[in-house]
């Protein structure tokens, strides 16, 4: 348990990343008891512009940034670089909230959990989809016991994009989006199921799907189109997780099948269903409704990701002030990110099951403390994971020329080799 933070003092926050990080910067205000004081990024032109907008100090050097008078750091930098930044901030006495990937390797997950325990600082994984109004309502419903015990769940987060949109989001051949395996970004699909049921994955199987158009003339990415992960949970349930960029339909959906009924997200919000012989006395067999926010609905409705961008800052602030770990603590954050890593090992082995370490147990952590297996070009592991089940694809000259035109148009000036 971390030390409680004084109620009367604002939590001085610094944000890493001035792209996606602007949402966290804007939300770090008086309503959640925070005060934005600094920004950090290596993109100097954008950093200067955003720094002026928020009227705060700016840094291109992370070590100098950590010397600023900060209480907490919010990480919105590249997907695979969060753990080293988080660990350094924790050791510097800063509370940390980290987006997208708590850890890019199993070894990073081990080190992160050890560091949180050693420093006693608050750590929160900033996964936002559990906190939509619908998912908060599904959590409340599940905890009433209305559908019994979870046996099966499905989480879908599919976000197809045009080829040029993908290029604009992935400037440079070594950008993380051009190397991410299809299973790695699984938290948007898995986290809500874990949040609703309070279950943890103990074993995973992974399967990757290759888009037959992967060799289109303008493609420079190496990853596959999407994946399915089967997560075996600690109560015996199985959760199926689908994503990430299959060109069928943009879809975000969650459902939990229990021993006594079904709860799921649907338009206009949630659906609850029981077979007639399992319908609780006094209730209808099926009901659909739009749930209200438990509190602060006016603020959440204005935030991105279905309100989740408000709730991440809100819950991070409350955890710092109370000294109590947030629901999305280091153990849950590392487990859901490690599910993607282990699922990729499984996919490369034709779906062979992979055991999830218990990141609370030092005996398990000891076994995995040197596991730096990684697909990233700048990874430090002994073994390299291919980003596709078909290995690495060298982009054509035409694809490179097209990509460079797109990158120039968005103002990217970095190297693309």
Position 234 in a domain: yes
What pLDDT shows up at residue 243? 87
Containing structural domain, residue 83? 11-129
Position 378 in a domain: no
Q: Which of 124-138, 213-227, 325-339 has the lowest mean pLDDT?
A: 213-227
Cβ atoms of residues 356 and 206 within 8 Å: no
- Residues 84 and 190 grouped into a single domain: no
Q: Which of 72, 100, 129 is the last residue of a domain?
A: 129
Position 402 in a domain: no
- Residues 289 and 150 grouped into a single domain: yes
* CATH number for the domain that contains residue 104: 3.40.50.720
pLDDT of 416 > 70? The answer is no
3-state SS string for the chain = CCCCCCCCCCEEEEEECCCCHHHHHHHCCHHHCEEEEEEECCCHHHHHHHHHHHCCEEECCHHHHHHCCCCEEEECCCHHHHHHHHHHHHHCCCEEEECCCCCCCHHHHHHHHHHHHHHCCCEEECCCHHHCHHHHHHHHHHHHCCCCCEEEEEEEEECCCCHHHHHHHCCCCCCHHHCCCCCCCCHHHHHHHHHHHCCCEEEEEEEEECCCCCCCCCCCCCCCCEEEEEEEECCCCEEEEEEECCCCCCEEEEEEEECCEEEEECCCCEEEECCHHHCCCCCCCEEEECCCCCCCHHHHCCCCHHHHHHHHHHHHHHHHHHCCCCCCCHHHHHHHHHHHHHHHHHHHCCCCCEECCCCCCHHHHHHHCCCCCECCCCCCCCCECCCCCCCCCCCCHHHHHHHHHHHHHCCCCCCCC
pLDDT band at 93 (very low <50, low <70, confident <90, very high): very high
Burial class (CB in 10 A: 0-12, 13-18, 19+), 143: exposed
- Residues 150 and 237 grouped into a single domain: yes
Q: Which of 1-5, 68-72, 217-221, 373-377 has the lowest mean pLDDT?
A: 1-5
Provide φ and ψ at 233, rounded to 5°: -95, 165
Residue tagged 């002026």 (tokens): 52
- Residues 60 and 23 grouped into a single domain: yes
Q: What percent of the chain clears pLDDT 70, i.e. is strictly above it?
A: 97
- Residues 242 and 178 grouped into a single domain: yes
Q: What is the pLDDT of residues 34-60, one digit of tens each?
A: 999 999 999 898 999 999 999 999 999
What pTM was estimated for this model as a whole?
0.95
What pLDDT shows up at residue 215? 53
- Residues 71 and 186 grouped into a single domain: no
* CATH number for the domain that contains residue 215: 3.30.360.10
Give me the sheet containing 123-125, strands edge to edge: 57-59, 34-40, 11-16, 72-75, 95-98, 123-125
- Residues 122 and 194 grouped into a single domain: no
- Residues 167 and 266 grouped into a single domain: yes
Position 320 in a domain: no
**Strand-pair partners of 12:** 35
pLDDT of 214 > 80? The answer is no
Cβ atoms of residues 116 and 325 within 8 Å: no
CA pair distance 170, 176, nearest whole angstrom: 7
What is the bridge-based pairing of β-strands 34-40 and 57-59? Answer: parallel
Residue tagged 């990233």 (tokens): 376
Count of domains observed in the chain: 2
Mean pLDDT for the chain? 93
Most confident region among 204-208, 298-302, 407-411 by mean pLDDT: 204-208
More confident residue, 82 or 2: 82
- Residues 158 and 238 grouped into a single domain: yes
């Amino acid at each position: 348990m971390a030390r409680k933070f004084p109620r009367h003092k604002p939590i001085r926050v610094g944000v890493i990343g001035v792209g996606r990080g602007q949402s966290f910067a804007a939300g770090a205000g008086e309503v959640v008891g925070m005060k934005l004081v600094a920004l950090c990024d290596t993109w100097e032109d954008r950093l200067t512009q955003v720094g002026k907008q928020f009227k705060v100090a700016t840094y291109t050097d992370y070590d100098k940034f950590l010397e600023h008078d900060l209480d907490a750091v919010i990480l919105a930098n590249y997907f695979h670089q969060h753990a080293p930044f988080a660990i350094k901030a924790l050791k510097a006495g800063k509370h940390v909230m980290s987006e997208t990937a708590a850890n890019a390797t199993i070894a990073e997950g081990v080190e992160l959990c050890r560091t949180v325990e050693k420093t006693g600082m608050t750590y929160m994984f900033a996964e936002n989809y559990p906190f939509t109004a619908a998912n908060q309502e599904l959590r409340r419903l599940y905890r009433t016991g209305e559908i019994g015990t979870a046996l099966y769940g499905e989480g879908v987060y599919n976000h197809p994009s045009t080829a040029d949109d993908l290029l604009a989001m992935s400037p440079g051949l070594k950008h993380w989006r051009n190397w991410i395996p299809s299973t790695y970004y699984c938290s948007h699909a898995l986290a809500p199921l874990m949040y609703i049921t309070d279950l943890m994955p103990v074993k995973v199987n992974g399967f990757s799907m290759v888009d037959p158009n992967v060799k289109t003339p303008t493609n420079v990415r190496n990853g596959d189109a999407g994946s399915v992960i089967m997560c075996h949970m600690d109560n015996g349930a199985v959760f199926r997780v689908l994503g990430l960029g299959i060109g069928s339909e943009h879809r975000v959906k969650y459902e939990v099948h229990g021993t006594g009924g079904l709860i799921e997200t649907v338009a206009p919000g949630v659906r609850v269903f029981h077979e007639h012989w399992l319908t609780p006395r006094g209730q209808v067999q099926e009901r659909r409704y739009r749930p209200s926010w438990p509190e602060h609905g006016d603020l959440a409705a204005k935030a991105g990701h279905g309100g989740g961008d408000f709730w991440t800052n809100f819950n991070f602030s409350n955890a710092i002030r109370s000294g109590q770990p947030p629901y999305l603590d280091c153990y849950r954050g590392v487990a859901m990110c490690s599910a993607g890593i282990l699922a990729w090992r499984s996919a490369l082995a034709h779906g062979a099951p992979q055991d999830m370490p218990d990141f609370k147990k030092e005996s398990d952590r000891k076994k995995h403390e040197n596991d730096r297996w990684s697909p990233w070009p700048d990874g430090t592991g002994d073994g390299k994971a291919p980003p596709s089940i078909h290995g690495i694809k060298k982009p054509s000259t035409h694809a490179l020329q097209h990509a460079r035109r797109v990158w120039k148009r968005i103002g990217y000036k970095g190297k693309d080799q």
